[in-house]
Amino acid sequence: MKNAPTAFNTPFRILAITLLLAAIGLVMVYSASATEAAKKRRRAIARTQGVEALADDHSYHDARFLAKQAFWLAFGLGAMFLAYRTDYRVLKDWGPYLLGISFFLLLLVFVPGIRKVINGHHRWIGIGPMSFQPSELAKIALIVYMARMLTDHHDKIRSLLHGVLPALGVTSVFALVIIVEPDIGAAAVITAVVFLMWFIGGMRILHLAGLVLALLPAFGAALFMFRDRIERLTAFVFPTAETAMGKGYQLMQSLIAVGSGGATGVGMGNSMQKYFLTEQFSDFIFAILCEELGLVGSILVVALFFLLLWEGWRIALRAPDFYGTLLASGITLMLSVSIALNLMVVLGLAPTKGLALPLVSYGGSNLVTTLFSIGILMNIGKYVERQREIVPSLRAGGGETRGDRGRRGMLRRRKTRATVFGM
């Protein structure tokens, strides 16, 4: 009898967790942004039509940001479905083209008339009424390309001249362009993810340690290029009443929000700190979530993230080939680093930095690229499931004995060790 595939397989579990987190994100975006959106709408009316036009307007909630987030969620789910239906091995051939497109888009943020400046930073390009952040696409582009490079040139990755320097050159160019935007946080995330991929790919520990020691002063110099970054770091290391009213203001208000939630929260829509935090529905949405849903709700969200990352690492460990392992590892690392840094900033464990919480924070660029990346992960998971179905089929047909399975497993383990450690 043919073994029927289980419905609750790896791709389905990832899809269920993703949809739950995205649904929570929609609810929290509306809860945290409704009053701010209404305030902006009323200001626009007063500026264009006069204050008298607001006499009969008693609406103090607006779903503008919710509608935008829902649109990007629908678009992102379409991208996720497309990625899921596309064989992940095809991306290996697309890697250089995807890298080139993302680099071209990164350069467009410096072109007047195309770039969109927000808070003095030109990290976005304007597309009509919408905007796009190319550094988000650059993350997945570098992961796809680096997985290809580590696979095709695995025999050279332990060589400083022919393996380390070419990989470092590509990563450094992207990181420098993103720093100039300036977006040091995104550059740090990309660099950390690529470094960990190099470790998984078999690069020598000595080379990695040397690169870390060499790049730390470079990142320090980048911090000193921008005065507000130094002020944020100072406010984090030496918190005072003065810094709490300056660059430490966001951190202080975030901690107040987290502490105000208690065990069960103040209830949906009842947050008071959303009137004080300036990035309440984007970078600091987890602080509002803690305030409104309390410890119980925040633990639930963290648990969902943990399950998503758990599935990602299971796929990476069981991928059918080395390219799949590196690709799944890179995507899971990108999610892990982004989630960890956002939660650390919100909880006061790291200096304030504008980093979105994947699937939950407001923002189309991050949401679409995250969903597309998860679609790739689901596709690799699909092949993992197919591989798992082979063994029960062989067992039922008598095509493999216990000794055969043992020898096959031993050979696979040897091959894996040789691949990882470059022997």
Those residues whose C-beta lies under 8 Å from the C-beta of residue 391, and which sit 6 or more positions away, are 400, 405
Number of separate domains in the chain:
1
Q: Are 12 and 52 in contact (CB under 8 A)?
A: no
Reading the block at residue 290, the tokens are 């803690």
End-to-end CA distance of the chain: 42
DSSP annotation string for 249-287: HHHHHHHHHHHHTTTT-S-TT--SGGGT-TTTTTTTHHH
Alpha helices (H) along 319-363: 322-346
Q: How buried is residue 21: exposed, middle or buried, by Cβ count under 10 Å (0-12/13-18/19+)?
A: buried
pLDDT at 152: 87
Q: What DSSP element (H or E) covers 192?
A: helix 184-201
Residue 164 lies in a domain: yes
Give the separation between CA 101 and CA 97, rounded to whole angstroms: 6
Residue 4 lies in a domain: no
Residue 157 lies in a domain: yes
One-letter amino acid for residue 328 of the chain: A
pTM: 0.87
pLDDT at 397: 54
Q: What distance lies between CA 179 and its chain's CA centroid?
A: 18
> pLDDT 10s digit of each residue in the chain, 423 long?
344 445 678 899 999 999 999 999 999 999 998 888 878 777 777 777 776 666 666 667 788 899 999 999 999 999 999 999 999 999 999 989 999 999 999 999 888 878 887 766 778 888 777 788 899 999 999 999 999 999 988 888 888 788 888 889 999 999 999 988 878 888 889 999 999 999 999 888 998 898 888 888 877 777 777 777 777 777 777 676 656 666 778 888 899 999 999 999 999 988 898 888 888 888 899 999 999 999 999 999 999 999 999 999 999 999 999 999 999 999 999 999 999 999 999 998 888 887 899 999 998 899 999 999 999 999 999 999 887 776 555 555 555 444 444 434 443 444 444 444 443
Residue 94 lies in a domain: yes
Q: If DSSP codes are grouped into helix, strand and coil, which group holds residue 163?
A: helix
Residue 311 lies in a domain: yes
Residue 3 lies in a domain: no
Q: Which domain holds residue 301?
A: 10-421
pLDDT at 155: 81
pLDDT at 119: 66
Give the separation between CA 328 and CA 10, rounded to whole angstroms: 13
Helix 364-397 crosses helix 322-346 at what angle (to 10 degrees)? 140
Give the separation between CA 314 and CA 176, rounded to whole angstroms: 33
pLDDT at 368: 96
Reading the block at residue 415, the tokens are 């091959």
Those residues whose C-beta lies under 8 Å from the C-beta of residue 22, and which sit 6 or more positions away, are 73, 359, 360, 367, 371
Q: Are 54 and 46 in contact (CB under 8 A)?
A: yes
pLDDT at 234: 76
Strand partners, 131: 126
Give the separation between CA 338 and CA 186, rounded to whole angstroms: 9
pLDDT at 199: 92
Residue 2 lies in a domain: no
Strand partners, 118: 121
- Kindly report each contact of residues 203-209 with a partner whose C-beta sits within 8 Å and lies 24 or more positions away, as own/partner: 203/157, 203/158, 203/163, 203/164, 203/167, 204/158, 204/164, 207/158, 207/160, 207/164
pLDDT at 103: 94
Give the separation between CA 181 and CA 49, rounded to whole angstroms: 37
Q: How buried is residue 249: exposed, middle or buried, by Cβ count under 10 Å (0-12/13-18/19+)?
A: middle
